[in-house]
Amino acid sequence: MLSVSNGILFERSSIVNEISDNFEYQTFRNSLRVQYRTKIKELITFNGSAFYQPSLSYFSDYIITANATLGFKIWKWLSLTTTCNYNKVTRTNRENIIFTYGLVFERYF
């Protein structure tokens, strides 16, 4: 499955600077979203989504958000999964990446 969508959105924000000043701004953004999901023989699953949202007024102002999950079926009811989340906001100069992993126990009653 692959899904791509695009649209315009309006953002109004209040940002607290390092000097404790509030900075309020508003902008229109183009919002591009991609979602995907695939399975390989019911053993491996891969899915995720990504957003790219550049400001239409300020060239250097954009937001990137992405996440991806990979799962391996060990038994019929047990899977090993790992997830990666990434986020970047150039307006505040913030960026982070988070990896998680774990076991998923599925039991239906």
- Residue-number span of the structural domain to which 70 is assigned: 2-105
Which residue reads 């998923």 in tokens? 104
Q: What's the pTM value of the predicted model, to 2 decimals? A: 0.80
- Of 56, 61, 37, 39, the C-alpha closest to 47 is 37
For position 20, what pLDDT does the model report?
A: 65
As given in the structure block, the two tokens for residue 98 are 């988070």
For position 85, what pLDDT does the model report?
A: 97
For position 31, what pLDDT does the model report?
A: 93
Q: How many separate domains does the chain show?
A: 1
Specify the amino acid at residue 79: S
Residue-level pLDDT, tens digit, the chain, 109 residues: 999 999 999 988 887 767 667 778 888 999 999 999 999 998 999 999 999 999 998 888 999 999 999 999 998 889 999 999 999 999 888 899 999 999 988 887 7
DSSP 8-state secondary structure symbol assigned to residue 18 = T
For position 101, what pLDDT does the model report?
A: 94
